[in-house]
Amino acid sequence: MNADDRTGPRPQGFSHRELREMLGAHVLGALGEPETVALRAHLDGCASCRADLEELAPLAGDLRLVDPDRAPGPVAPPRELGVRIARAVAAEAVLREHRDRRAVRRGRLRAVLVPVAAAAVAAVVTAIAVLPDDAPPPAPAVAFEQLPLRPLDPAVSADTATVVPHTWGLEVRMVAAGFGAGQTYRGIVRTTDGRSLPAGEFLGTGAKAVTCNLQTAVLRADAVDFTVVDSAGRTVLDLPLPVVRAG
Ligand SMILES: [Zn+2]
């Protein structure tokens, strides 16, 4: 909250629905300035949108990974947002992947995850069914976990990883930097029964941030820890995985 006169439920003539639809683009940094200003002002005064934003924020990394060419239809002409959008995103692709997970409750997330337009193509994937604003809030989504990464090598910098529990195993998505350029790094998952199993590989890119999407056939419920080791077998990054109930 602040004393800014612009705060309030519907600044600058945007409808509440329009403001809610901006949340997805907002977490991707894909909103133009007027929309950003309007949305920030609105968020100051709207607990509901703040809650939506909180749920969306951890998905931002996943949305950025969506390939626009694989974006699900239907594709509609750009509306107000389209012209300003700098990045191709199809939020529904991510949501569709996880739709059947009981942890992702129907409704609110999908309602606010408005797919955004493709940079060059300017195609806007249509908004997913928008629920009435008075729809009851669902339980928080737990299909994605946003967990802190612990660099164990001073050269490595990393913040958080997104852990996605698939039916076939788990997936760790992260952005990190400081891995030796051209060197091979391996992901390893440790299981509840003490095994260490491979979870993908990637090449270091030095100071340049690398976006990794590492996968393993170990189910989330069976995993207790994810680490990245260098070619010498040294652990350079650790991601403890909290115990979850098998589902
Ligand atoms: Zn609102």
Find the 183 Cα to ligand 1 centroid distance in Å: 47
Find the 159 Cα to ligand 1 centroid distance in Å: 29
Find the 9 Cα to ligand 1 centroid distance in Å: 6
pTM equals 0.45
Q: How far is CA 201 from CA 41, 209, 215, 216, in A?
A: 43, 15, 9, 11
Find the 50 Cα to ligand 1 centroid distance in Å: 7
Is the Cβ–Cβ distance between 126 and 114 less than 8 Å?
A: no
Which pLDDT belongs to residue 179? 93
Nearest to 133 by CA among 232, 28, 9: 9
Find the 18 Cα to ligand 1 centroid distance in Å: 9
Which pLDDT belongs to residue 194? 93
Find the 54 Cα to ligand 1 centroid distance in Å: 13
Which pLDDT belongs to residue 53? 86
From first to last of its 247 residues, the chain has per-residue pLDDT tens of 433 333 344 555 788 988 888 888 888 778 888 889 999 999 999 998 898 888 877 777 666 655 555 544 444 444 444 433 433 344 444 444 444 443 344 444 444 443 333 322 222 333 333 334 444 444 333 478 889 999 999 999 988 899 988 888 898 988 889 999 999 999 999 999 999 999 999 999 898 888 888 988 899 999 999 999 999 999 999 999 998 865 4
Find the 20 Cα to ligand 1 centroid distance in Å: 6
Find the 80 Cα to ligand 1 centroid distance in Å: 18
Q: Domains along the chain?
A: 11-125 (no CATH), 145-240 (2.60.40.770)
Find the 38 Cα to ligand 1 centroid distance in Å: 11
Q: Which residue has the tokens 């809030």?
A: 137
d(CA 237, CA 6) in angstroms, rounded, equals 44
Which pLDDT belongs to residue 61? 66
Which pLDDT belongs to residue 91? 46
Find the 119 Cα to ligand 1 centroid distance in Å: 27
Which pLDDT belongs to residue 190? 95
Find the 28 Cα to ligand 1 centroid distance in Å: 18
> How crowded is residue 147: how many other Cβ atoms within 10 Å of its Cβ?
18
Which pLDDT belongs to residue 69? 52
Find the 171 Cα to ligand 1 centroid distance in Å: 32
Is the Cβ–Cβ distance between 156 and 175 less than 8 Å?
A: no
Please compute, for residue 15, the number of CA atoms within 13 A of its CA located in the half-sphere on the CB side. Answer: 5
Which pLDDT belongs to residue 64? 60
Given its phi and psi angles, is residue 152 left (phi above 0), alpha (psi -120 to 50 degrees) or beta? alpha
Q: How far is CA 217 from CA 169, 193, 199, in A?
A: 4, 15, 8
Which pLDDT belongs to residue 155? 92
